[in-house]
Each structure stands twice: as structure tokens, then as C-alpha cells.
A and B are shown apart, each in its own frame.
Chain A
């Protein structure tokens, strides 16, 4: 555990040799303010939901619903947070979710039952991540281009496998997992997976050398390399991790929707990036927060939920969503700069 780069906390700033301990403290405080302001936005949303639709919004079933809807994109966002923290980007997440979900629901895969579907979804996700990682880390391709290529070809392959058809899941075990009877102590299994992935992601980013290396690579890759970090291998692992998250998310989506379709995961890349950025992860790399990303996902899902409960139409939803993104970021800036 002898690490030359030693940012020990969540939301570590860019690695720079001249930073003293007092700077660390203010930056850490600023990160907490950021999280607090996100919680404030979420609280305001809950207030709005509670006032406009008290019976429907403030309801256990609705809480279960919001968390379930958040779990698929949430798992993708955790992986995306790592990639962005390291200064990269993964535009292929939606396409990987689509490919993994259709590959795992073909007639042939379904013959292997629950385990076959789970295994295929995860392995396809990891496989795509591996290709991304190899191209970027060892092939010297820019992440934007490499993952854009994966975006196109994974969607193409998904279309080829399905032939545009909806693949309906008939494996009982998978279908049951998405039903109300599978809830344990009122918690849907999907939400448990989301929580587990979040906790593992948080520990990995904040409490392991792997996490510190990711931050270091994102802060200054050259400095990280000089400090003895194998930057290329670190990058490979990060895209593998993102692919793994996509595979898990694809499985969750199969459980949730009871099917696989080549249109799955549409625009996930944008949703995941937006949630991570709102959460406080720096798009240029060097700082990442799992807590913030998850809060970002929850904010988006809650907005969608409140709009649907109030029967607002898609046009209004989109306009308001854009406005809320801008407002949330502005509020964060303001609160962060006044402390």
C-alpha cells in the first residue's frame, strides 16, 4: 500500500505536488457542501411531489417504484463515474446494455435458464468493456472515438441478433425476481443490487488503491505514470468495470421488463453522464463521487416520477428537465463558491 499519490478522501482534487493540508480541508468541506446541496434539491423535489400529489407520491409503493426505476441507470452511472473520474468517457454504455440484454434473451440462451441469462448478460458486458479498454489503453485510441465505435457496432449487432423483434423472457425465475412477491422486507431485489453496487463502488473509489489510482490517472496521467502507476492497465480495468456495470444493468433491465429488445438502453450514455456531472464528478477527470452520482440519478428519477404522477406531457417534461439541470448546477456552484 505504498502509494506515491496520496489523496485520501472522497472528491480528491487534481494531483499536484504543491498542495498543502489546509487546501485539502477546504476542498473536502466544499465536497460536503456539494452533496448537501444535492440533498437539498432532492428534498425540494420531494416537497413538490408531496404537495402536488400527497396520496400518490408519499406512498411506500411509489418509493419502491422510484428506486426500482433508478436501479438500472444507477448501476450504469456507478461504472460511468469511474471512467469519467479517470478522465475518460464511455459513450457505449446504452449500446452495451442493449447488446447484453438481447444476447441474454435469445431463444438459445433462455434454454440455459436463470444462470444462462445472468452469465451471458454479465460476460457480454465485460467483453465489450474489454474491447473498449484494449482499444483505448493499448491501441492508443481516444476514449470518445473508441466508445463511439463500440456504440455503433454493439447496437448493430443487437439489431442483427434480434432482427428487430422483441424477445420475450419465458424463464420463470427471472420473471419472478421482478415481481412483488420477490420483495424482501419491502425492498425489491433490483434495488438491493443497486444498493450493493453503490456500496462496492463507493468503497472501491474511496478506500482502495484502485480508486486512488483512478483519480490520479484522471488528475494528471503523466504525473501518475511518473509516480509508478501503470496508467494503461488502470485504464483497461476502468473500461472493464464500466462494461461489467452495463452487464449487470442489462440483467436488471431484463428482470424489470421481462424482455430483451435492441432499442433497450436508449440514451443511457447521456443520462449516466448527466447524473455523474450533476453529482459533482469532474468531466475533465481527477475528481469523482459515487454518492453524488447516485443522488444525481435519484434526482432525475424523482423528477420523471413527479411529472408522470401530475400527468404532464413529454414536451413539458423535457423543458422542465433541462431547466432543473441548469438550476441544480447553478445552485451547486453558488453554494460551493460561498463557502
Chain B
């Protein structure tokens, strides 16, 4: 690169010095502002484990995607805090990655370390099937968390949420609330449309609404699971629909933006149901002073349960409370509806 003739002397001038001092000062001030410490405890799980009695020591390897949003972050927290509860469990947790090649490498490292059981939440279930198979062949049982592998041979047990069920339960909740209303109008704020799970949620929602002939879904827009997109899409939906009775929003994170848009538009003439189970949503439901009346869960506590299952696998036990000697091969979790009546019970599972 060609060098200009007069740059450096300018920078050492008094103006430059002044600017430099201001920049350093601002930097010092700013660096104090990155702290996010607050007094409340992170999401933890208080429900008792199936079998708390210490047994054979088990080393569990845990590999997940990069925790770049609240729900995934809660997944990591749940796995860690659950593992800490057991004296006989050692958790080997990898740095989360969204890159398939990198995640494969991390899981191979865990296989080489000869962990007793693997818990894998793949960034992409289909793409990581091979490494799941590899672990199973090496004699390490795999608990596949949420995003499912292509082949049942790649895991010993799958545990995950129910996207179709989420839509179904949201639809039924809204249906029951509006069942005595003639010509009720419902709108849907969906999540990222590129994802299959968004389609499943919408299918479930539509299927449930079919049971209520008085209800018509009049609009659907897809946001991107972010606050920003939630605000943008919701404000347009509100402008498009001057009157409707209920709204289902797929995701509580984008719901923060949706609620902001509803507030900005000054609307309160409908009921809103959320999705996933964020702490802010639980708090709003408990306060009961806005449109948000309920949310359907996609529980991040599944990571804690995955640790339970992995421990049971390592110790050769079944699940307490079930008759079988082994853990199940597949567990689909229920998408419970949390409203004012039962919100206290779920408060500690809410994620930020």
C-alpha cells in the first residue's frame, strides 16, 4: 500500500493527543460496562432426580452447538447444574460450535478420551449422524438430544421436544378460550421459516384450530427468532389486522419484540400465547397486566434429563418409576401450557 505524505505528524498534534486521551478515558469507562452480573440465580432444576443414590462413577461427554441464544444457553446451564448434583458424575463439556466439521472433531476427541456415555445436541442432526454411529460402534452409548440423527443406529436414546405438540397445545388453549366467540379471528407470528421445526409448529397449530369451526386464522407472518424481527413483523401484523382475538407467537425471544410492538401500537384487545418458556414470559404471565396470558413449553430442562439418562445408561439402570430394566429408546417431551395458574411451578426453569 502506498504511503501518504503527511499523515503521522498530524496524529501527534495536540488535537490528536486530546482525542487519544478522550478515547482512552471512554475505553476505561466502557470496559466497566460489559458486566452483566445480577443477583438472581441462573435457571436451575429443582425437581428430584429419578435415583439420587450414588452408584458407579460415570464420565459423561457433552457436545452442543454454540449457545448464541437464550434457549441453547439454558441447555448448557441445565446440563452442567444437573451433573453437579451427582457425586458420581464427571461432565466433560466441549466448547459449543455451529460448525459441523468442528463439532465432529470435538465428539471424536470425546470418543478418544473414552468417556462412558455421550450426550450430543447436534448443530445439524443429519450431518452428525456418522459421528454418532462411530461412537456407538466404539461402544460408547449416545444420548441424542433434541435434533435427531438420521439413523436410529446412531443413538441409544433420543430425548427431545415436540414442535408439532407445541402448535397443537397452543391451538387448543386458544380454541378453548375463544370457543364461545362467534367468528373469532386468530393470527400467528411464526419463527424462522427456513427451519422444519417452524413448519411443524404451524401444522400442529392449524390442526388444533380445525376442532373449532368458529375460529379462523386470518394472518401468519414469520419472524426470525430475534427481538428485532419480532418487533418488525408484529408491528406490520398489527397494522394489517385492526381486529383479532388471539395471537400465537412461536418463540418467547422474538416475543420480547412482539410485546414491544403491541405496546407501541397501544393494543390490548386480544390474548397472546407464547412459546418456549423464557423467564420474561413467565414473569409477564404472572403479573397478568398485559396481553400475554400463556406460553407453551419447549423445555430446556431436557438437557438435565439427558444427563439423568446418560447416568442411568452408564450405571446400567432403568428410569425410576418405570417398570423396565433399561431406559427407553425414545422420549418425546410434553409441551405443557404455562398460564397464571401454574406459572410458579415453572418459574425456575425460565431462561433469559
B-contacting residues of A (Cβ < 8 Å)?
Answer: 53, 55-56, 59, 61-62, 65, 68-69, 103-104, 106-109, 112, 116, 120, 123-124, 127, 130, 137-138, 140, 159, 161-168, 178-180, 222, 225, 230-233, 253, 256-259, 261-266, 304-305, 308-311, 313-315
Residue B231 lies at the interface, judged by CB distance under 8 Å to chain A: yes
Contact A308 B240 (CB under 8 A): yes
CA distance A168 to B230 in the complex (A): 14
Contact A69 B232 (CB under 8 A): yes
B121 to A: closest C-beta gap in Å = 14
CA distance A163 to B218 in the complex (A): 37
Can you pick out 16 interface pairs between chain A and chain B where the beta carbons lie within 8 Å of each other? A56-B239, A106-B36, A161-B36, A162-B36, A164-B69, A165-B70, A168-B256, A179-B264, A222-B2, A256-B231, A263-B225, A263-B227, A308-B233, A308-B237, A314-B193, A314-B222
Of the residues B34, B219, B253, B278, contact of A103 by C-beta under 8 Å:
B34
Residue B50 lies at the interface, judged by CB distance under 8 Å to chain A: no
Contact A106 B34 (CB under 8 A): yes
Residue B67 lies at the interface, judged by CB distance under 8 Å to chain A: yes
Instruction: From A68, A163, A310, name the one whose CB has the most chain B CB atoms within 10 angstroms.
Output: A163
Q: Which residues of B contact A163 (CB under 8 A)?
A: 36, 67, 73
Instruction: From B3, B37, B72, B240, name the one whose CB has the most chain A CB atoms within 10 angstroms.
Output: B240
Contact A107 B36 (CB under 8 A): yes
Contact A225 B2 (CB under 8 A): yes
A314 to B: closest C-beta gap in Å = 4
Contact B237 A107 (CB under 8 A): no
Of the residues B32, B230, B233, contact of A108 by C-beta under 8 Å:
B32
Q: Which 9 A-B pairs have the closest CB atoms?
A: A140-B1, A308-B236, A109-B33, A164-B73, A108-B35, A314-B193, A165-B352, A263-B226, A232-B4
Contact B256 A259 (CB under 8 A): yes
CA distance A163 to B265 in the complex (A): 31
Residue B18 lies at the interface, judged by CB distance under 8 Å to chain A: no
Contact B280 A168 (CB under 8 A): yes
Residue B7 lies at the interface, judged by CB distance under 8 Å to chain A: yes
CA distance A246 to B219 in the complex (A): 34
Of the residues B23, B68, B278, contact of A263 by C-beta under 8 Å:
B68
B246 to A: closest C-beta gap in Å = 16
A-contacting residues of B (Cβ < 8 Å)?
Answer: 1-7, 10, 23, 26-27, 30, 32-38, 66-70, 72-73, 193, 218-222, 224-233, 235-237, 239-240, 242, 253, 256-257, 260, 263-266, 278, 280, 351-352
Of the residues B38, B221, B231, contact of A257 by C-beta under 8 Å:
B231
Contact A261 B263 (CB under 8 A): no
Q: Which residues of A contact B230 (CB under 8 A)?
A: 257
B18 to A: closest C-beta gap in Å = 15
A100 to B: closest C-beta gap in Å = 11
Contact B226 A266 (CB under 8 A): yes
Q: Which residues of A contact B253 (CB under 8 A)?
A: 166, 261
Contact A231 B4 (CB under 8 A): yes
Contact B7 A232 (CB under 8 A): yes
Contact A108 B33 (CB under 8 A): yes
- Given A138-B7, A258-B260, A56 and B34 touching (CB < 8 A)? no
Of the residues B5, B218, B239, B351, contact of A309 by C-beta under 8 Å:
B239
Contact B233 A311 (CB under 8 A): no
Contact B4 A230 (CB under 8 A): yes
CA distance A223 to B323 in the complex (A): 84
CA distance A166 to B229 in the complex (A): 13
Contact A130 B23 (CB under 8 A): yes
Q: Which residues of B contact A56 (CB under 8 A)?
A: 239-240, 242
Contact A313 B222 (CB under 8 A): yes
- Given A107-B35, A108-B35, A161-B34, A308 and B4 touching (CB < 8 A)? no
Contact B236 A304 (CB under 8 A): yes
Nearest B residue to A117 by beta-carbon distance?
Answer: B33
Of the residues A159, A233, A309, contact of B7 by C-beta under 8 Å:
A233
Q: Which residues of A contact B218 (CB under 8 A)?
A: 311
Q: Which residues of B contact A179 (CB under 8 A)?
A: 263-264
With A140-B1, A163-B67 given, can you name 9 additional A-B contacts, CB distance below 8 Å?
A: A53-B240, A61-B265, A222-B2, A230-B4, A232-B3, A256-B228, A259-B256, A261-B226, A309-B236
CA distance A163 to B230 in the complex (A): 20
Q: Which residues of A contact B242 (CB under 8 A)?
A: 55-56
- Given A116-B33, A178-B260, A263-B228, A309 and B4 touching (CB < 8 A)? no
Of the residues A59, A178, A315, contact of B193 by C-beta under 8 Å:
A315
Of the residues B35, B73, B220, contact of A106 by C-beta under 8 Å:
B35
Instruction: From A165, A230, A309, name the one whose CB has the most chain B CB atoms within 10 angstroms.
Output: A165
Of the residues A225, A258, A305, contact of B236 by C-beta under 8 Å:
A305
Contact A262 B256 (CB under 8 A): no
Contact A233 B10 (CB under 8 A): yes
Contact A108 B222 (CB under 8 A): no
Contact B33 A264 (CB under 8 A): no
CA distance A1 to B200 in the complex (A): 65
A162 to B: closest C-beta gap in Å = 7
A234 to B: closest C-beta gap in Å = 9
CA distance A259 to B229 in the complex (A): 12
CA distance A112 to B29 in the complex (A): 11
CA distance A209 to B232 in the complex (A): 38
CA distance A319 to B332 in the complex (A): 36
CA distance A112 to B36 in the complex (A): 14
Q: Which residues of B contact A108 (CB under 8 A)?
A: 32-37
Contact A253 B228 (CB under 8 A): yes
B308 to A: closest C-beta gap in Å = 24
Contact A259 B257 (CB under 8 A): yes
Nearest B residue to A236 by beta-carbon distance?
Answer: B7
Q: Which residues of A contact B37 (CB under 8 A)?
A: 107-108
B260 to A: closest C-beta gap in Å = 4
Q: Which residues of B contact A225 (CB under 8 A)?
A: 2, 4
